[in-house]
Structure 1
Amino acid sequence: MHSNEIRYFLAVANTGSLSAASKQLFVAVSAISRQIQQLETRIGATLFERHARGMVLNDAGQILENHVRKSMMDMDFAIAEIQGLKAVRRTVIRMACTDGPAYSLLPQMFARFRAINPGVMFYLNVGTALQVSEMIRSGDCDLALQFSLTPERGVEVLASHPATVRLAMLSHHPLVIQEVSLGDLRAYPLALNEPSSTIGQLFDLSCRMNGIFLEPALSCNRFSTLYDFMLNTPGAIVACSHFSVMFNARADGLVMKSINIEQLSHRTLQLQTQAGRHRSAALSQFIDFSCELLAREAAAFERDFNL
């Protein structure tokens, strides 16, 4: 189709009349009318309902407008991506996450990616699982990293890793030398995320199914607080995924212990984006980088800590 036909068609669709489109384009009404008629002839269908007060798109016109605007948007994205190949350093990536990944995992990922692309900036919003899911569905962030129990609607999962709930403790803890059951935890200060978190839900379910009551010494919605409590409290244990301590465990001399309860494995760490969302060059690079880093570091951690 001729570019003038499409340009005039969109002008009439936007303004609602030939005269208004004429003023907008500085083109005679007759010329615009002629191009619209040619376009309708070429398509084989009328595109507007013509009224005394103006012109309104009919069903065929709305279909054409949607496709034309999508094509124009795709062209804009293509140009932006081509330009982005040269301008990755000036890109802001907006992320959302639940509290666990915010403690150490994401800061490490950001730092390592910026070592390669030092001009890329990150904006991180930390929220609850419900808040993060809503941010990714509404397009308020480019990516989300969160622990998930169930599939999310309107969300594309770019990477998913098992995130079994385990126990982190210092290497001299008495439980290091034995298999651990839920009942064993009664004798030690337990640091546990708030009940509404995925860990809180799984722990509560496991305790109820096994007839065990556990009262945490510290319950908090900030993993950094739970982690510092464990490091500084004799005999303390923190319940977490290995992803939350992946870059701290070796330096802090931690041991990770599992509890042989199926419910504690019903969780994954997911890298998510809005379904159908366009990705800039920088975002695509960061997604590839993140997927590779998560897979590599998780495999190394599981090997080194015999998980």
Structure 2
Amino acid sequence: MLQPHVLKYFADVARNGSLRVAADLQDIAPSALSRQISQLEKFLDAKLFIRTAKGMQITEVGRELFLFVEESNRGVEALLHRIEEIDELRHGAVRIASIEGAITSFLPDVLARFSASFPGIKFEVVVCGSNDVAHRVGRGESEIGLAFNCPSREDVILRARIAQPLNLVARPGHPVFEGGEKNFSQLKEFQFALPNRRFGIRRLIDQAMHATQTELAIAFETDSLQLIKQLVSQTDMLTCLPRIVFERELSNQTLAAIPLKDSLCSAASIDIITQQSRTPSGAARKFLTMLLDTAKSTYS
């Protein structure tokens, strides 16, 4: 029978072409290693090496055995990896950083479905602005991030981009809706309630104002999208939000919206990111797959 430890000895000799080097790696005497190789050759009834003054020269049979050992090692590693993933799906944890907009839309549904399938998994969800999402993922504090218009960074990988153009949002029946979609230059007479600058949404609005040389009248700013939506639904103030943030209000007709005629706003997206230098845990990879599938099927 082929013994795993003997095959390991053989593979070390094959890689290094030397009994002494392989013996040092395995911390055994060269003579003991030589006996193991001889017994393996006897078992296989074939020469694995030709012993020369320059070292151990592998034979054709030896090369075939070496390929078998290497393939077997890869298979064992894959098996151990799968076992580790199964164990992580029983007892693992997933750390997520997300913008507020995602937690009011599809993210809770994915969390609920995943938790029902893998009840042993624990979640940590931190809600913060897009910059903080990217920082947390880049530093490894969160494994998965959902950010609005995530800037290009070397320490994160973009896994998916969900198109989410900015819309002009107001209460139903607001005069701003007359004549259809608007550009920023047509909105100077209105007051706005906007997210503060920790939000990717606000940074995009500021960029669009600068590009169009337009200054909006900002009457209210906050770090709460929920507060903005309530204010806009009860006053004549306007705001600019991606549809994902106000879908519920749109369906119950407490808010209405039209597109913004601006190339920057039209190209906006919610981005799903992971850290560049570290592979997510088995539980995080499984959740990421479900998250990506849901996002693509819902918003593609």
Q: TM-score per shorter chain, which class?
A: 0.5 to 0.7
Q: How far apart in 1 are the matches of 2:90 and 2:28? A: 49
CA, structure 1 residues 284+195, in 2 after alignment: closer, same or farther (shift >3 Å)? closer
Cα deviation per residue 1:32-71 (whole Å; 9 max; x = unaligned)? Answer: 9987xx9xx679xxxxxxxxxxxxxxxxxxxxxxxxxxx9
Residue in 2 that maps onto 1:123: 124
Matches within 5 A, 1:104-253: 104-179=105-180, 180-231=182-233, 233-253=234-254
Deviation at residue 250 of structure 1 after TM alignment: 1.4
- Structure having the higher Rg: 2
- Against the structure 1 CA distance between its residues 90 and 168, is the aligned structure 2 distance closer, same or farther, given a 3 Å change threshold? farther
Kindly state the Cα deviation for residue 93 of structure 1 after the two structures are TM-superposed. Answer: 1.0
Is the 2:130–2:150 Cα contact (8 Å) retained in structure 1? no
Cα gap change, 1:33 to 1:221, in 2 (>3 Å): farther
| d(CA) in 2 for partners of 1:103, 1:6 | 56
Structure 2 stretches of 5 or more lacking a match?
A: 1-5, 13-24, 38-54, 58-72
Superposed CA deviations along residues 93-141 of structure 1, whole A, max 9, x for unmatched, are 1111234324444334323433444443321123333332232223222
- Tell me, yes or no, if the aligned pair for 2:177 and 2:258 is still in contact at 8 Å: yes
In 1, distance between residues paired with 2:291 and 2:239? 26
Q: State the Cα RMSD in Å.
A: 3.8
Output the TM-score relative to the length of structure 2.
0.67
Q: What secondary structure is seen at the aligned counterpart in 2 of 1:178?
A: coil
Q: Distance in 2 between matches of 1:94 and 1:42?
A: 51
User: Structure 1 pair 187/116, CA: closer, same or farther in 2 (3 Å)?
Assistant: farther
State whether residues 129 and 147 of structure 2, in contact with CA within 8 Å, keep that contact through their aligned partners in structure 1: no
- Which residue matches 2:102? 101
| Residue in 2 that maps onto 1:62 | none
How far apart are 1:81 and its partner, in Å? Answer: 3.2
TM-score, normalization by structure 1:
0.66
Asked if the contact 2:147–2:200 (Cα under 8 Å) also holds between the matched residues in 1, the reply is: no
Looking at structure 2, the residues matched to 229 and 166 of structure 1 have their Cα atoms a distance apart, in angstroms, of 16
Match of 1:263 in 2: 264
Gaps spanning 5+ residues in structure 1: where?
A: 8-20, 22-26, 44-70, 300-307
Deviation at 1:4, TM superposition (A): 6.5
Residue 145 of structure 1 deviates from its aligned partner by: 0.8
Q: Tell me, in whole angstroms, the C-alpha distance in 2 between the residues paired with 1:283 and 1:151.
A: 22
| Partner residue in 1 for 2:255 | 254
Q: Matched residues in 1 for 2:124 and 2:106: separation?
A: 15
Using a 3 Å threshold, how does the CA distance of structure 1 residues 202 and 116 change in structure 2: closer, same or farther? same
1:296 equivalent in structure 2: 297
The 1-side partners of 2:204 and 2:115 are apart by 35
Could you tell me how far apart the structure 1 residues matched to 2:297 and 2:271 are?
15
Percent of residue pairs bearing the same amino acid type: 17
Report if aligned partners of 2:157, 2:273 keep a CA contact under 8 Å in 1: yes
With over 3 angstroms needed to count, the CA separation of the structure-2 counterparts of 1:223 and 1:30, relative to structure 1, is: same
Task: Report SS of the residue matched to 1:217.
Answer: strand
Task: Give the CA deviation at 1:191.
Answer: 1.6
- Structure 2: distance between partners of 1:127 and 1:200: 14
Q: Structure 1's 297 and 202: CA in aligned 2 closer, same or farther, altered over 3 A?
A: same
Q: 1:116 to 1:188 in 2, by over 3 A?
A: farther
Check the 8 A contact 1:103/1:224 in 2, yes or no.
no
Distance of 2:112 and 2:186 partners within structure 1: 39
Deviation at 1:192, TM superposition (A): 0.9
